Amino acid sequence: MKSNAGRLEVIKAAAERRRQMNHERTGLLSIDVLPDEPIPAGSYLVHNHVRPQKPLNGNGFRAWIQTKSDNLVRCRCRFGGCKNAKVHKVHYRVDRDDLERVRATS
């Protein structure tokens, strides 16, 4: 029988596999912490329209890396002071006006 630590590792590995499969399928890679290295050219560090705050993923504030620049506007929020925010001076947020247009037509 596996220990609790062993079960936790299995759950974490499964979650990571799902995250990678989603990235391959959609071009989006959700993140739990800001990377400590700059994002490679051709990729965009993006967050949602929720007010940035620590910790990342707290109170609805989500971030991800994507390969398409559609519906993005440059942001200067400093990621609400999240760890490694200084590494990512250039990042983007979802265009709120575009988000409202999508909601209005749905």
- CA angle, 34 as apex, 27 and 52 as ends, to 5°? 95
Q: Given this model, what pLDDT does residue 52 score?
A: 85
Q: What is the pLDDT of residues 82-91, one digit of tens each?
A: 888 888 889 9
Q: Given this model, what pLDDT does residue 79 score?
A: 85
β-bridge pairing 91-94 and 28-31 = unpaired
Closest by CA to 64, choosing from 40, 90, 34, 85, is 34
> Would you say residue 103 has pLDDT above 60?
no
Structure tokens at 13: 């590995």
- DSSP-assigned letters across all residues of 64-95: EEES--TTEEEE-SGGGG-TTGGG-SSEEEE-
Structure tokens at 89: 């001076």
Instruction: Read off the amino acid at residue 73.
Output: V
